[in-house]
């Protein structure tokens, strides 16, 4: 295993340990809700977004331990979005990462409430960062504002809305890029921005790390679209072809495999150019390659 993957696994375990502390305990009343929150949060996943928060803070000189509340809060938001995405009224998926989705285990109503609970608890968790020594409270306020925007109507939810409204219809490439930049890219980009902001990065550096995040966010989505068509079902942990089943517009359908690979090469090259300005960039260079070459 490469040093990069070892670090990814090590940081992922740290994130999971902290999530277990920061979530309501499973036996707290009402226990079924809290059990469902734990079920979905600990159903696997690479923990890429919280690790991005932590490594972006390190990039600008702050120990990653200091930004863990924000890292975990963003992972809670990500988990909530997956729970809601899987619901019958949305993508209607029965499996996520090889396990039954939240609504298949707990029912649709409780799955909806579990997502709601994770989203709201996320901001209480992020707010805890203001109590950590060396973190500027104003930076935490900025982070809460920006994450709210990235997760809301001007970000992830906006992208999901356009995605749903355009399903089964022909759309142009600009609309497809809008969907991907908002539905997927917004939370990836804000993860990097948040870690950098908490570390006290300059406005110029914040813009650069945000742009890096936008590029790798698109890479993530394009590769995701390819895997939905050509991936291995056992490796991915959910049925192949769900985008086609749901009549979704994807990069694979608009650009084809070769066109997608050209886009991935261009975007990953631009991402590496942006991050090359920093001396301690090894993790981010390897992260870019990891997202390009991932099989799950």
SS3 246: coil
Judged by phi (left if over 0) then psi (alpha if -120 to 50, else beta), residue 169 lies in beta
The overall average pLDDT reported for the chain is: 93
Quote the pLDDT of residue 168: 85
Query: Residue 28: how many CB atoms within 10 A of its CB?
Result: 11
- Which pTM was predicted? 0.93
Please give the DSSP secondary-structure letter assigned to residue 128.
G
Identify the pLDDT of residue 27.
Answer: 92
**Number of domains observed in the structure of the chain:** 1
What's 121's domain CATH number? 1.10.600.10
Tokens at residue 163, please?
């995605």
Q: Which two tokens stand for residue 35?
A: 């059990």
Tokens of residue 197, six digits: 């902001």
Q: Determine the structural domain holding residue 80 and report its residue range.
A: 3-293
pLDDT at 39 > cutoff 90 = yes
User: What is the distance between the alpha carbons of residues 283 and 185, in angstroms, rounded to a whole number?
Assistant: 19
pLDDT digits over 141-187, tens only?
999 999 999 999 999 999 999 999 998 888 999 999 999 999 999 99
User: DSSP 3-state assignment of 161?
Assistant: helix
Measure Cα distances from 289 to 214, 267, 268 in Å.
15, 11, 8
Per-residue pLDDT tens for 92-149?
Answer: 999 998 899 999 999 999 999 999 999 999 999 999 999 999 999 999 999 999 999 9
- Residues whose CB is less than 8 angstroms from the CB of residue 112 and which lie 6 or more positions away in sequence, other chains included: 83, 84, 87, 103
């Amino acid at each position: 295993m490469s040093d990069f993957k070892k670090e990814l696994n090590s940081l992922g375990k740290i994130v999971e340990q902290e999530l277990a502390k920061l979530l309501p305990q499973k036996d707290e009343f009402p226990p079924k809700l809290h059990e469902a929150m734990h079920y979905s949060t600990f159903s696997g996943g690479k923990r890429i977004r919280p690790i991005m928060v932590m490594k972006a803070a390190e990039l600008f000189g702050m120990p990653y331990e200091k930004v863990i509340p924000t890292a975990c809060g963003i992972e809670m938001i990500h988990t909530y979005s997956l729970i809601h995405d899987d619901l019958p009224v949305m993508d209607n998926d029965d499996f996520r990462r090889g396990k039954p989705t939240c609504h298949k285990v707990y029912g649709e109503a409780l799955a909806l409430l579990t997502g709601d609970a994770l989203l709201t608890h996320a901001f209480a968790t992020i707010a805890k960062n203001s109590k950590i020594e060396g973190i500027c409270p104003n930076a935490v306020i900025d982070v809460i504002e920006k994450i709210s925007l990235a997760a809301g109507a001007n970000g992830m939810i906006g992208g999901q809305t356009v995605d749903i409204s355009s399903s089964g219809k022909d759309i142009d490439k600009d609309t497809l890029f809008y969907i991907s930049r908002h539905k997927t890219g917004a939370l990836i980009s804000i993860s990097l921005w948040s870690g950098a902001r908490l570390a006290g990065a300059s406005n110029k550096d914040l813009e650069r790390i945000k742009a890096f995040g936008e590029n790798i966010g698109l890479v993530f989505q394009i590769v995701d679209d390819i895997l939905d068509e050509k991936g291995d079902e056992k490796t991915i942990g959910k049925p192949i072809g769900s985008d086609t089943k749901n009549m979704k517009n994807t990069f694979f359908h608009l650009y084809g495999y070769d066109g997608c690979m050209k886009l991935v090469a261009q975007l990953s090259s631009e991402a590496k150019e942006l991050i090359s300005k920093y001396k301690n960039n090894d993790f981010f260079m390897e992260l870019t390659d990891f997202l390009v070459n991932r099989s799950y």
